[in-house]
Amino acid sequence: AKAEGRNRYHFFTSTLSHRLREQRRIAANLRESLRNDEFELLFQPQIDVKTGKFASCEALLRWCPKDKTKAVTPDVFIPIAERGELIGDLGDWVLKKACQQAQAWKEKGIAIRIDINVSGKELEKSSYFDSLTAYRAEYALSPEDIGLELTENVLIKSDSTILDGLKAQRDLGVEISIDDFGTGYSSLSYLKHFPVTHLKIDRSFLDGAPENDFDSALMEAIVNVGHKLNLKIVVEGVETESQSDYCKSLNVEFVQGYLFSRPISADAIETLYVEQSK
Ligand code: C2E
Ligand code: CA
Ligand code: CA
Ligand code: CA
């Protein structure tokens, strides 16, 4: 048993160090890609249930290194970027790119808000809101043009500087969504203190609903609480007609998911937008 234990330990350490080496390699590749501008923003429409149209979309980052075999998904590289110091530069790239795109759309008369995902690690650098303000000025944007998506855990952990920064943005008219709502912190009381406008219900709850009683009870509870607090509800990960119908029956304001559109290029968003305006 002892020998077996030792083997297992050996196995554990070797896979752990393998994983660490892998992460360091990815971090180095990310850094190089930042120098070479090898990223892209895709956009996924958020559909207004009442009209069936979209006036906002979520920006989702894609890594496109020249050597495509190096690419991994954001679920993998974002946490790695957060652990290193890369997330600041990566987040700045996203912010700038989103602002450039928002300006390009505005100039064409296309009214689409872009919501960007903001990591807690980015907000810890107090300069984040300064950058947001500076880019807004540089690209002639209004506060309504760029929304922010933050996870619950970011809000819970955040200090008063971040809270004050968010409040100032909210006062200007910035839309602020709580992302992956329901998967993080277990108390809702924090909602009282945060200047939030939207709750995005995590798709894990939608998976089981409406058949699964527990999931549908949670969905309904979240929608009720959100509406009582005057928040708009977004359900993400809507893949089927029956899920869409279920969301409609709950009176949520927005739906987002593969049923309506995958994350697509800015050009493809424009085409969709023009199509729905006809
Ligand atoms: P998220 O913010 O919760 O984004 C939703 C994810 O669900 C996206 O994955 C999206 O492509 C995917 N999705 C959308 N509709 C459906 C659907 O109907 N079914 C299924 N199965 N999935 C759907 P993606 O693009 O791979 O992003 C993963 C995560 O990476 C994001 O989760 C977010 O946490 C992070 N991320 C992506 N872009 C950025 C970014 O620019 N900055 C930061 N900090 N994080 C980002
Ligand atoms: Ca998000
Ligand atoms: Ca989410
Ligand atoms: Ca997520």
Assess contact for 68 and 33: CB atoms under 8 A.
Answer: no
pLDDT of residue 196: 94
Q: Find the 166 Cα to ligand 3 centroid distance in Å.
A: 19
Specify the residue with its C-alpha closest to ligand 1, atom 7: 237
Q: How far apart are CA 210 and CA 223, in angstroms?
A: 14
> Which residues are close to ligand 4, an ion, with C-beta < 5 A?
180
Residue pLDDT, tens place only, 200-230: 998 998 988 888 888 889 899 999 999 999 9
On average, the pLDDT of the chain sits at 91
pLDDT of residue 4: 52
Which is more confident, 188 or 130? 130
Confidence of residue 2 (pLDDT cuts 50, 70, 90): very low
Specify the residue with its C-alpha closest to ligand 1, atom 46: 117
Which is more confident, 187 or 19? 19
Specify the residue with its C-alpha closest to ligand 1, atom 23: 237
Q: Find the 278 Cα to ligand 4 centroid distance in Å.
A: 33
Give the number of the ligand closest to the Cα of residue 150: 2
Give the number of the ligand closest to the Cα of residue 60: 1
CA-based nearest residue to 230, from 170, 275, 180, 185: 170
Q: Find the 194 Cα to ligand 3 centroid distance in Å.
A: 18
Residue pLDDT, tens place only, 105-114: 999 999 999 9
User: DSSP letter string over the chain?
Assistant: -HHHHHHHHHHHHHHHHHHHHHHHHHHHHHHHHHHHT-EEEEEEEEEETTTS-EEEEEEEEEE--SSGGG---HHHHHHHHHHSSHHHHHHHHHHHHHHHHHHHHHHTT---EEEEE--HHHHHSTTHHHHHHHHHHHTT--GGGEEEEEEHHHHHH--HHHHHHHHHHHHHT--EEEEEETSS-S-SGGGGTS---EEEE-HHHHHHTTTSHHHHHHHHHHHHHHHHTT-EEEEE---SHHHHHHHHHTT-SEEESTTT--SB-HHHHHHHHHHHH-
Q: Give me the mean pLDDT over the 250-261 stretch.
A: 98
| pTM for the whole structure | 0.93
Residue pLDDT, tens place only, 127-176: 999 999 999 999 999 999 999 999 988 877 777 888 899 999 999 999 99
Structure ipTM: 0.98
Confidence of residue 7 (pLDDT cuts 50, 70, 90): low
Confidence of residue 1 (pLDDT cuts 50, 70, 90): very low
Q: Give me the mean pLDDT over the 76-83 stretch.
A: 94
